[in-house]
Structure 1
Amino acid sequence: MITKPLSQDTATRSTEERLFSPLTLRCGQVLKNRIIKAAMSDSLGDGTGHPTDAQMRLYERWAEGGAAASLIGEVQPDHHHAEKPGNLVLNDASNLEHFKALAVQGSQHNTGLWLQLGHAGAMAYPPTSIPHGPSALDVPGLSCQALSLEDIKALPGIFARTARLARDTGFGGVQVHAAHGFLLSQFLSPLFNQREDDYGGSLENRMRLLLETIAAVREAVGTDFVVAVKLNATDQLEGGFEDSEALHVIAALERTPIDLIDISGGTYFPGARSASDASASGPYFVEFAKRAREVTSLPLMATGGFKTLAQAQAAVNEGAVDIVGLARSLALDPALPHHWQAGEGVEPELPRFVSPPEGSVTAWYTLRLTQLGEDREHESLGELDEVLAEYETRDAARAETWRAHFVFRDEAIG
């Protein structure tokens, strides 16, 4: 069959529209475009592990704004190793009606709403948890106990039960979180995994828990439900998980029943540099994604550093990634995908902070999400030290609620 070359106008229009073309995943679900609201810890749970009205409204706004899917960051399978007391907790003891309501609101306008399956491990919030990691650690700013072999072997089933409940309550998918220094990322890292059993040592052993978790989750949810994985390209720590190892893990993921790989990087360990703190003007992990293309046919998503429509279009048009993950940009403008698709020339204006106190930028964006969920984003957040104080006060109050709720529940069960 002879085909005519595209006219210049048609070719230009074709590449411009690729970012807004559908993508069919392995499981059969179809993304309406190539923009996903990446996982952020919105910290909008009520302190008992349940969603609030503000959280439901927040994900409704992202659905209204045109994203193909939204990820809810750090949804815990139990209350023992949460990242923050504002995390959601989804298990058999949860009030599922609250989660069903969240799924309905966040899935409007043909938007996928997926839960990121979290476990903070060594970085569990000390006021509400006893941190546990692959190995015992005692370094400045971070200490944890080692998980027992019995505890490790139970983890895939624990994640799988939460994934099944996600499906039962109306969510469209889950993402297994193996990035940013949380538990599964800790297992991958030789810096934090110093075990000498089947879950430590060689890379094959260090990735064992991730692969077992993926298998258990897929078995629990069936074949037509999204299962994604978030993976670090690098920990950005000397002696940690490196890009060469990440490529080996991606090659192994090719043989698993997942739908896409979300590439990110960095850790939230004390003193470590996170990817979101990078000073680069462009996307952080597109070049790594190009290398990952050589070892997998899975759809690739890159999260971090996309600030303009041109950057997002280029990454997709060049074939580096299939999906662009936006986080902070959508905290500033939840309707950014609609604006971009309409050709309105809108670009997010990320605030510039000079010498911010540690933790204050995260606090600023977290409280910005609260503003969005309460439809009051036009209010000023104030100075960074004030924002950080408000953020920490809210965490402390929710930690009290968390302890009271879960201690009472544990005692009732016991």
Structure 2
Amino acid sequence: MTQNHTTQLTDPLTLPCGVVLKNRIAKSAMSDSLGDGTGAPTEAQITLYETWARGGLALSIIGEVQGDPMAAEKPGNLVLWQDTVGDGFRDLAAAGAARGAHLWLQLGHAGAMTHPPIGVPKGPSTLDLPGLTCEALTQAEILQLPSQFAETARLAKDLGFGGVELHAAHGFLLSQFLSPLFNTRTDNYGGSIENRMRLTLEAVKAVRDAVGPAFPVGIKLNATDQLEGGLSQEDALAVVEALDGTSIDLIDISGGTYFPGAPSASDAAGKGPYFLEFAQSARALTDRPLMLTGGFKSFDQVQDALSRGVDMIGLARALVLQPDLPKAWLSGDTAAPTFPRFANPPEGGVTAWYSMRLTELAEGRALSGPECLPDAVAAYNARDAKRAVLWNARFR
């Protein structure tokens, strides 16, 4: 299925469902942690996604929108189910669609990484590791998951969002099922990669059945867990090949996990895209549009990836530093944003800094520099603690 690509950043992308994205730049999903602590959007979050839409990109994806409040990654996540639908979600959908952009919700379930103060960690198998313990899901609970994803997707469509993305990367639930390191089940959801990908494929089908043929459905997939004994590239490519036989509209390639102690791809010191070689291997197995996320820091890197068979470029931290970067690049100004350097950051510290920088951006406040890392980590943790109280009062 290898094709000759001469794609430019300004070219529109027509998805298999027929929807057209106006160019090749996406804001990939991040845990922006801008919910109000009860699963609802805030005015700051609405402002942020409108800012990104007006900055020239074609697509934004909101990270970790939960269909089950007892399986959330953080108390700043959004929760979309019948009891939480309100005008805030409609306002968010409209703001993210400014200037012809699309705003998709990433359908999340933290599984074993559910934040214990606000939920019950459950994954494919029982885990008892330093900093991470969880129960195993029963088969009955697993069988309910595709319909849960489907209901969240249906609500997203009804509220005016442009599409959805299933989260099967970074060590969240579907990623946990794909990884032999965390999935040691002996039933038809464990063992071979065909069994380990079963839940992911069932979720894709259920979501498509719920939203119909003309609504975009994407998936974020790990190229590697970056952990010994985790998902191999061979198995990840088998998942890509299987997805080629589904109705998926966009395969978003990333990698790494957020399990305690695991290396984070987003904190890597590399000078280029992290998973470009994998994306080229995937290109030979599928004609489905491929999005590549992680490590892009310059216009030349972006254009090189587009020339190698990638269809969509996922930017995250670059758009925190410069929200109107797409407009600049699309107009011919190819200067790159300046990425901060951090000296010996604690685990999760860089992510906390970017999350708090997002908050400053969304609220129109002065933007902090890298020297504020300790203050950002303290503010990030204090905010989560306050929101956990609100979350439990709302959902428990």
Please report the TM-score for the alignment, with normalisation by the length of structure 1: 0.93
Return the match for 2:372 from 367, 383, 397. Answer: 383
Amino acid of the residue matched to residue 34 of structure 1? R
| Cross-structure match for 1:403 | 392
| Cross-structure match for 2:383 | 394
Amino acid of the residue matched to residue 349 of structure 1? T
Shift of 1:375: 1.8
Return the match for 2:269 from 279, 289, 307. Answer: 279
Shift of 1:371: 1.1
| Cross-structure match for 2:173 | 183
- Listed one character per residue, the Cα deviations across residues 21-74 of structure 1 (whole Å, up to 9, x for unaligned) are 101000110010000000000000001100000000010000000110000000
Alignment of 1:82 onto 2:82: no
How many residues align structurally?
392
Q: C-alpha separation between the residues in 1 aligned to 2:12 and 2:361?
A: 27
Return the match for 1:326 from 315, 318, 334. Answer: 315
Q: C-alpha separation between the residues in 2 aligned to 1:286 and 1:82?
A: 30
- Listed one character per residue, the Cα deviations across residues 228-269 of structure 1 (whole Å, up to 9, x for unaligned) are 010000001000101110000100000011101000000000
Q: C-alpha separation between the residues in 1 aligned to 2:189 and 2:100?
A: 40
Structure 1 segments (4+ residues) deviating >4 Å: 379-382
Q: C-alpha separation between the residues in 2 aligned to 1:388 and 1:100?
A: 31
- Listed one character per residue, the Cα deviations across residues 249-298 of structure 1 (whole Å, up to 9, x for unaligned) are 10000001110100000000011011112121001111111001111111
| Cross-structure match for 1:19 | 9
Q: C-alpha separation between the residues in 1 aligned to 2:168 and 2:248?
A: 14
Return the match for 1:340 from 307, 323, 329. Answer: 329
Amino acid of the residue matched to residue 289 of structure 2? P
Return the match for 1:211 from 189, 198, 201. Answer: 201
Q: C-alpha separation between the residues in 1 aligned to 2:221 and 2:208?
A: 17
Report the secondary structure of 1:93's partner residue: helix
Q: C-alpha separation between the residues in 2 aligned to 1:359 and 1:154?
A: 32
Q: C-alpha separation between the residues in 2 aligned to 1:201 and 1:64?
A: 46
- Listed one character per residue, the Cα deviations across residues 366-406 of structure 1 (whole Å, up to 9, x for unaligned) are 01111111122445575211110110000000000000111
Unaligned runs of 5+ in 2: none
Report the secondary structure of 1:19's partner residue: coil
Contact 1:41 1:74 in 2 (8 A): yes
Identity value in percent: 61
Unaligned runs of 5+ in 1: 1-13, 408-414
| Cross-structure match for 2:216 | 226
Amino acid of the residue matched to residue 328 of structure 1? R
Contact 1:57 1:373 in 2 (8 A): yes
Return the match for 2:58 from 62, 65, 68. Answer: 68
Q: C-alpha separation between the residues in 1 aligned to 2:370 and 2:394?
A: 30
Amino acid of the residue matched to residue 214 of structure 2? D
Contact 2:342 2:370 in 1 (8 A): no
Q: C-alpha separation between the residues in 2 aligned to 1:58 and 1:21?
A: 25
Shift of 1:146: 0.4
Shift of 1:130: 1.3
Shift of 1:318: 3.0
Q: C-alpha separation between the residues in 1 aligned to 2:325 and 2:61?
A: 16
Contact 1:381 1:387 in 2 (8 A): no
Q: C-alpha separation between the residues in 1 aligned to 2:169 and 2:180?
A: 14
RMSD of aligned C-alpha atoms? 1.2
- Listed one character per residue, the Cα deviations across residues 127-169 of structure 1 (whole Å, up to 9, x for unaligned) are 1011000001001110000001100000000000000000000
Shift of 1:317: 2.2
**TM-aligned CA distance change 1:239 to 1:88, over 3 Å:** same
Amino acid of the residue matched to residue 55 of structure 1? Q
Q: C-alpha separation between the residues in 1 aligned to 2:249 and 2:32?
A: 25
Q: C-alpha separation between the residues in 2 aligned to 1:296 and 1:378?
A: 42
Alignment of 1:42 onto 2:71: no
Return the match for 1:308 from 281, 292, 298. Answer: 298
Q: C-alpha separation between the residues in 1 aligned to 2:353 and 2:367?
A: 14
Amino acid of the residue matched to residue 334 of structure 1? P
Contact 2:72 2:115 in 1 (8 A): yes
Shift of 1:91: 0.5
**TM-aligned CA distance change 1:82 to 1:253, over 3 Å:** same
Q: C-alpha separation between the residues in 2 aligned to 1:50 and 1:176?
A: 20
| Cross-structure match for 1:264 | 254
Return the match for 2:355 from 366, 369, 378. Answer: 366
1:87-126 to structure 2, matched below 5 A, reads: 87-126=77-116
Please report the TM-score for the alignment, with normalisation by the length of structure 2: 0.97
Return the match for 1:141 from 124, 127, 131. Answer: 131
- Listed one character per residue, the Cα deviations across residues 67-115 of structure 1 (whole Å, up to 9, x for unaligned) are 1000000000020110000000000111332111100111111000000
Q: C-alpha separation between the residues in 1 aligned to 2:370 and 2:275?
A: 30
Q: C-alpha separation between the residues in 1 aligned to 2:184 and 2:207?
A: 26
- Listed one character per residue, the Cα deviations across residues 285-328 of structure 1 (whole Å, up to 9, x for unaligned) are 11111001111111101000000011101111232x00100000
Shift of 1:221: 0.3
Shift of 1:354: 1.0
Q: C-alpha separation between the residues in 2 aligned to 1:359 and 1:324?
A: 24
Q: Which moved more, 1:281-290 or 1:338-347?
A: 338-347
